[in-house]
Amino acid sequence: MTASTATPAPEVTPLLEVRSVSKFFGSVIALKDISAVVDGGQVTCVLGDNGAGKSTFIKILSGVHQHDEGEFLIEGSPVRFSSPREAKLSGIATVFQDLATVPLMSIWRNFFMGSEPTKGWGPFRRFDIDFAKQTVREEMAKMGIDVRDPDQPVGTLSGGERQSMAIARAVYFGAKVLILDEPTSALGVKQSGVVLKYIVQARERGVGVIFITHNPHHAFPVGDRYVLLNRGRMFGTYEKGEIDRDEIIQAMAGGAELAQLTHELERVMAETETASDR
């Protein structure tokens, strides 16, 4: 008995693992039998079309919802979070779409909001502003962003920069698992590229990244593993190299449906072409 527990499994325990997790809202089956593994230093992409269950899935991981069936393990031990705060304490940081930043506040004030470093004692305990500004500059530099002026209000940053600040903040405060909820959905092509770069940078720093997106073109270049969801169920898990971009697109849209759509599009286009030829 003792021998068997002392002997570690041949492969390393994954940072985060879910086994056959399900979630029901009344009679609605939001998620059914979802299994996934997230390792440190890897990007796990969760892909799916609207209504596939991506949001429910990450809300379970980030502690907003609790799973009804299955197991949720962190470093091998089962957990059940009752709030996002609890998840955060276990090292799971979620960058939600609204980013949790205050536009009128400066970058350094935002970066440390809720976890302000202090110096001094008693009534003279104060916010260590020099340290805050210095750290913001350093951490943003690690993400490849040159913060010219930490006093700049966050509202004046571009969407991509703000996204990156939220990522840098999560990484700085010791996130082992970083969940990014559609970080590129509201961004232009160029800025999406910037954010993808930071995702890679966070991965290089050993963070297990969970990247939720409905855009396979964003997921494909950065992902090490792809979890495809369709209508609340697992469509499949693929390692990098096992699947190509077109297959992902096919799988996401439910294969046959997309083929049907392509066919119809071709027909419409052919019709307009013949119409313009006349």
Partner 1 sequence: MAEPLTEARAEPAPDPPAGQDERLGRVSPLTRLLRRPELGALLGAIAVFVIFTIADQSGQFADVAGAARWLDVASTIGIPSVAVALLMIGGEFDLSAGVMTASAGILLGLLTVEWGWNMWPALAVVIVFAAAIGFMNGYLVVRTKLPSFIVTLATFFVLRGTNVGFTKQITGQVRVADIDEAGGYESVRKIFGSEIGTAPENFNIRIFWWIALVIVATWVLTRTRVGNWIFGVGGDQIAARNVGVPVTRTKIGLFMATSIACALAGVMTAVQLTSVQADQGVGEEFNFIVAAVVGGCLLTGGYGSAIGAALGALIIGMAFIGIAFAGWNTDWRYLFLGVILFLAVLVNTFVRRQAEGARR
C-alpha span between 28 and 190 (Å, rounded): 39
Min. distance of Cβ 125 from partner 1 in angstroms? Answer: 7
Judge whether 222 and 60 are in contact, CB under 8 Å: no
Min. distance of Cβ 223 from partner 1 in angstroms? Answer: 27
Encoded amino acid at 143, one letter: M
Q: Work out the number of other CB atoms within 10 angstroms of the CB of residue 143.
A: 20
Min. distance of Cβ 139 from partner 1 in angstroms? Answer: 15
Between 160 and 223, name the residue whose CB sits nearer to partner 1: 160
Min. distance of Cβ 39 from partner 1 in angstroms? Answer: 27
Min. distance of Cβ 72 from partner 1 in angstroms? Answer: 21
From the number of C-beta atoms within 10 Å of its C-beta (0-12, 13-18, 19+), residue 116 rates as middle
Pairing of strands 118-119, 126-127: antiparallel
Min. distance of Cβ 130 from partner 1 in angstroms? Answer: 11
Between 5 and 115, name the residue whose CB sits nearer to partner 1: 115
Min. distance of Cβ 217 from partner 1 in angstroms? Answer: 28
Nearest in space to 61 (alpha carbons), one of 178, 171, 170: 178
Between 88 and 176, name the residue whose CB sits nearer to partner 1: 88
In this structure, what token pair is assigned to residue 105? 């506040």
In this structure, what token pair is assigned to residue 131? 């340290």
C-alpha span between 154 and 276 (Å, rounded): 50
- Torsions phi, psi for 3 (to 5 deg): -60, -40
Between 137 and 203, name the residue whose CB sits nearer to partner 1: 137
Min. distance of Cβ 123 from partner 1 in angstroms? Answer: 10
Between 169 and 225, name the residue whose CB sits nearer to partner 1: 169
Sign of CA dihedral 72, 74, 79, 85: negative
The side-by-side arrangement of strands in the sheet containing 233-239 is: 77-78, 69-74, 16-25, 28-38, 233-239, 225-230, 43-47, 208-213, 177-181, 92-95
Between 112 and 235, name the residue whose CB sits nearer to partner 1: 112
Hunting for tokens 């571009």 — which residue is that?
158
C-alpha span between 230 and 224 (Å, rounded): 20
Between 80 and 125, name the residue whose CB sits nearer to partner 1: 125
Task: Tell me which long-range contacts 6-13 makes (C-beta under 8 A, separation of at least 24).
Answer: 12/39, 13/75, 13/76
Query: Which residues would be at the binding site for partner 1 (CB under 8 A)?
Result: 84-85, 88, 96, 98-105, 109, 112-116, 118, 125-127, 129, 137, 146-149, 151-153, 155-156
Between 109 and 203, name the residue whose CB sits nearer to partner 1: 109
